[in-house]
Amino acid sequence: MLGYRCCSDVDRLPCSERSALFGGAGERVFDAYCNVGTLDPNAILRLASLHPHVDVLVATDPAAAADGRTDVDDPARGLLDALQARGVRHAEVPRDHADRWQVLSKHLGSDYPGHPFPHRADGPDRTLVDRGSDAGGLRGRRLRWDSLPWIADVPGWPGLRVMGAHSTHERMSDPVVFEGLEHDGWVRRDDTFPSNLALFRPANVTELDDGVRFTLRRESSVVREFTAGALSTAEAFLYGRFVADLRPARVAGLVTGMFLHRNGPRQEIDIEFTGNDTTRMLVNVYFNPGCDGARLEYGARGTPVLIDLGFDASDEYHHYEIDWSPTGIRWLVDGELVHERHLWDPTPVPHLPMVFHLNLWHTRSRELAGRLRQRDLPAVSSARRFTVRRYPWTAQLGDELKSRVTGVNSGSENGS
């Protein structure tokens, strides 16, 4: 949020990053390093000698001084003294300081952020691992990405693959299933968003025996010339497996979506089918930093990758899955892993609760989905057997991350 790309909370640096940082070999991905296990005081002092313009920020525990501990007992205090003796630019950041933005922005010469300081409890160091054989054979073609500080757009960079404190192989919770349009767990949308040329209307979501049909039609309203259908969960979820059988619309100009989304800050994980070519699936991630309430909504394109499916998705139902955990995201089709991302590959993994959505909409972008021919309307897509499963450890992440969402699109346009 201060404009630095930060590698944090890992037990060691990737080999390529360490070589660039200590040996000057290659391009560094990160601008800053925080809570990296191998960057102990001796390593930090070595870095200070290699990089004369380095800034060192040292978090201190006021309780240590209150208890009268010596420098031997308090490594942070010993590091501060060593930095002072060597004339290295540094600052002390007390853990209990009332305004840490003030300390950081003043020292770094950065603008004071207009968003809350992201207070989060320190977690255990995550163990960095080499990319294994399960990453092989994944398919996908990168499209044009946004250019933002929290996107690591570096050729050949594989991201940070880590083993977190939580397992993604544990038994999942019982599924949150679709039980009909009148069930309060699911909401038919009655709004739109700027890039959508259709207004969502509840009447365009029709219940089937085990799912729903979305219809997009020419129908004028106050704000749009078309109407469409969208369904979302009433609850926001933090991590889990989000699955559905989908049959997207094969009509140019339209997009069938299955995705997770939130605003304030905007974060999103997508599966989308563009109606001009339903033999391919678009996967995407939008990330903005901060905790709940940070009004960061940057990014028009995200970080999209196009997956060749090997079949036409509009011919029949297929099974699609988004598996989202603190350390990565996996996309599966008919049980096969087709794409995955780890930390900083190329963004951090979204870390705040999001709402699960299914929809059909008309994009403004002909580049994305082609040009709509009105003679092809009305158009339909359908979804069935859609469920959400939580990881059992999500309850341990704190009540402050649980929420009920009634208006997930804070900038939505209402045509009622």
Query: Using one digit for the tens of pLDDT, what is the confidence trace for 38-55?
Result: 999 999 999 999 998 999
Assigned domain for 409 exists: no
Least confident of 30-34, 172-176, 226-230: 172-176
Assigned domain for 12 exists: yes
Catalytic residue, from 17, 219, 272, 340: name it.
Answer: 272
Query: Do 198 and 281 share a domain, yes or no?
Result: yes
Cα–Cα distance, 185 to 318 (Å, whole number): 24
Assigned domain for 407 exists: no
The pLDDT of residue 69: 54
Whether pLDDT at 75 is above 90: no
Containing structural domain, residue 273: 133-401
Q: Last residue of some domain: 105, 127, 149?
A: 127
| Longest Cα–Cα distance in the chain | 80
Assigned domain for 240 exists: yes
Q: What is the mean pLDDT of residues 129-142?
A: 66
The pLDDT of residue 403: 40
Least confident of 40-54, 162-176, 184-198, 225-239: 162-176
Cα–Cα distance, 362 to 194 (Å, whole number): 11
The pLDDT of residue 183: 79
The pLDDT of residue 400: 43
Catalytic residue, from 17, 219, 235, 268: name it.
Answer: 268
**Any catalytic annotation for residue 268?**
yes
The pLDDT of residue 124: 62
Assigned domain for 112 exists: yes
The pLDDT of residue 412: 38
Whether pLDDT at 414 is above 50: no
Q: What is the mean pLDDT of residues 316-333?
A: 96
Q: Between residues 60 and 403, which one has the greater pLDDT?
A: 60
Spatial CB neighbours of 87, under 8 Å, sequence gap ≥ 6:
none
Q: Last residue of some domain: 127, 153, 180?
A: 127
**pLDDT, tens only, 200-245:** 999 999 999 889 999 999 999 999 999 999 999 999 999 999 999 9
Query: Do 74 and 137 share a domain, yes or no?
Result: no
Most confident of 112-126, 128-142, 224-238: 224-238
Query: How many domains are contained in the chain?
Result: 2
Whether pLDDT at 68 is above 60: no
Whether pLDDT at 167 is above 70: no
Q: What is the mean pLDDT of residues 265-279?
A: 98
Whether pLDDT at 107 is above 50: yes
Q: Last residue of some domain: 88, 107, 127?
A: 127
Name the band, by pLDDT with cuts 50, 70 and 90, for residue 174. Answer: confident
Query: Do 267 and 185 share a domain, yes or no?
Result: yes
List the CATH number of the domain containing 166.
Answer: 2.60.120.200
Query: Do 288 and 335 share a domain, yes or no?
Result: yes
Query: Do 42 and 175 share a domain, yes or no?
Result: no
Q: What is the mean pLDDT of residues 144-164?
A: 89
Query: Do 99 and 191 share a domain, yes or no?
Result: no
Tokens of 182: 């009148």
CB of 19 within 8 A of CB of 25? yes
The pLDDT of residue 257: 98
Name the band, by pLDDT with cuts 50, 70 and 90, for residue 66. Answer: low
Query: Do 293 and 164 share a domain, yes or no?
Result: yes
The pLDDT of residue 65: 55
**Any catalytic annotation for residue 316?**
no
Name the band, by pLDDT with cuts 50, 70 and 90, for residue 170. Answer: low
Query: Do 99 and 139 share a domain, yes or no?
Result: no
Q: Between residues 309 and 163, which one has the greater pLDDT?
A: 309
Query: Do 349 and 231 share a domain, yes or no?
Result: yes
Assigned domain for 139 exists: yes
